[in-house]
Amino acid sequence: MQYHTEYTSSPFVVPPGEVLEEKINEMGLSTEEFAGRVGMSTEALVQLFKGRLFLSFAVASRLERATGIPADYWNRAEANYRRKLENLENE
């Protein structure tokens, strides 16, 4: 599966947590199970899904180990998401 981080062609702002939530579902894991695997609370993971929690470099590394999706992808997706939010706020 190819993961793209450029959301510029989309009128929607998509947090990287939505991709993560889809991946967790593909893996057949519950939110609680995955949260335990990456050392996060379930509530923090849900906030990440919604884009309300900043996806840090440390979390990106844990996500890479748990999902196989490179930390660089998560970092770029987070940066693109935050940039798109800022652009919308400044319109």
Q: How many CA atoms lie within 13 A of 36 on its CB side?
A: 4
Token couple for 60:
């990106």
Task: Please tell me the CATH code under which domain 16-89 is placed.
Answer: 1.10.260.40
Stated pTM of the model: 0.84
Grade residue 76 by pLDDT with cuts at 50, 70 and 90: very high
pLDDT tens digits, one per residue of 22-66:
999 999 999 999 999 999 999 999 999 999 999 999 999 999 999
Residue among 26, 8, 24, 4 nearest 74 (CA): 4
Quickly state the pLDDT bin for 11 (edges 50, 70, 90). low
Domain boundaries, the chain: 16-89
Question: Which token pair is 61?
Answer: 């590394």
Looking at the predicted structure, is the pLDDT value of residue 8 above 70? no
Q: What is the mean pLDDT of residues 56-84?
A: 96
